[in-house]
Amino acid sequence: MKDFSLNLYKELLTNLMSKDYRFIPFKMYKESKENKIIILRHDVDRLPYNSLEMAEMEFDLGIRGTYYFRVVPCSFDEKIIQKIESMGHEVGYHYEDIDLILKRQKSEVKNLNGKINEEKLIVLAYNHFCLNLEKLKALVDIKTVCMHGSPLSKYDNKIIWKKYNYKELGIIGEPYLDLNWNEFGYFTDTGRRWNGDRHNVRDKVKSKYQFDFKSTFDIINNVNSLPNKLMITLHPQRWSNNIFNWYKELITQSGKNIIKEYFFVKN
């Protein structure tokens, strides 16, 4: 069985379920009174059909998670968004408005000396965020949002919140900003590996729990030693039983990792 196959993902979930973890959407984390919980977060960066396959598998297992969709063509699919929510999963906004403004309206945020005016950038990005949030709210109920890492950008998309407050828009949480990371262990498959800090630009948290699991097999083999509270972040485009898609993602991500490690990761 190959790592990053849906078959192995199912084995991971069933092993975690056997240890009495309860899977909850992020929007429910404050209400949960369970001793052992997992927030299953999915960042839908692209290939939304992969997310639908993953959501259906989880639904069949009685699991509910959170799916964060970007509002760009490679992620945003209205029918898939609504179908995933109809299965009981949470849908949220995977925002990248700082990066989108820099790509689409860069001239409007430059000073006379050609440098970026961060104040103007934040104002334009916030307005852009509000428009995209309403676009998603027209389809599904949105309670939480989550930053998209935009690894090739100089700017962190979270800088919007230096000036504005998403809770004034009816948003109850943002994982990077609202979880107590000393209570939660964190796994992310960023870089198509579980110990990908060398290739990870922004998908990082400061937690007292530290792991060095390279593969999904390592997590399964150490399931008895995991903390009681976890967030697991997945990028569904990385997971497939289709051998062509599996190798395509492997080769593509390997190339991206080299670029990110040498040009964008700050050590």
Query: Which one, of 205, 212, 201, lies nearest residue 182 by Cα?
Result: 205
Q: What is the pLDDT of residues 57-108, one digit of tens each?
A: 999 999 999 999 999 999 999 999 999 999 999 999 999 999 999 999 999 9
Task: Kindly indicate the confidence band of residue 199, based on its pLDDT and cuts at 50, 70 and 90.
Answer: low
Note whether residue 34 is domain-resident: yes
Note whether residue 41 is domain-resident: yes
- Surface-to-core class of residue 113, CB atoms within 10 Å of its CB (0-12 exposed, 13-18 middle, 19+ buried): exposed
The residue that leads in pLDDT, 114 or 87, is 87
262 pLDDT higher than 90: no
- Domain containing 203 equals 6-263
Note whether residue 18 is domain-resident: yes
C-alpha to C-alpha distance for 107 and 205, rounded to whole angstroms: 33
Around Cβ 166, how many Cβ atoms within 10 Å? Answer: 22
178: helix, strand or coil: helix
Task: Kindly indicate the confidence band of residue 266, based on its pLDDT and cuts at 50, 70 and 90.
Answer: low
**Domain at 208, CATH number:** 3.20.20.370
Instruction: Measure the N-to-C terminal CA separation of the chain; round to a whole number of Å.
Output: 34
Mean pLDDT of all residues belonging to the chain? 91
Does the model's pTM come out above 0.85? Answer: yes
Number of independent structural domains in the chain: 1
Average pLDDT over every residue of 171-186: 95
Note whether residue 220 is domain-resident: yes
Note whether residue 1 is domain-resident: no
Note whether residue 163 is domain-resident: yes
Note whether residue 227 is domain-resident: yes
Strand pairing of 22-24 and 90-95?
unpaired
62: left (phi over 0), alpha (psi -120 to 50) or beta: left
Contact predicate 164/158, CB 8 Å: no
Token couple for 219:
């997590």
The vertex-225 CA angle with 220 and 226, nearest 5°, equals 75
Note whether residue 222 is domain-resident: yes
203: left (phi over 0), alpha (psi -120 to 50) or beta: beta
Query: Which one, of 162, 174, 161, 176, lies nearest residue 206 by Cα?
Result: 176
Contact predicate 62/49, CB 8 Å: no
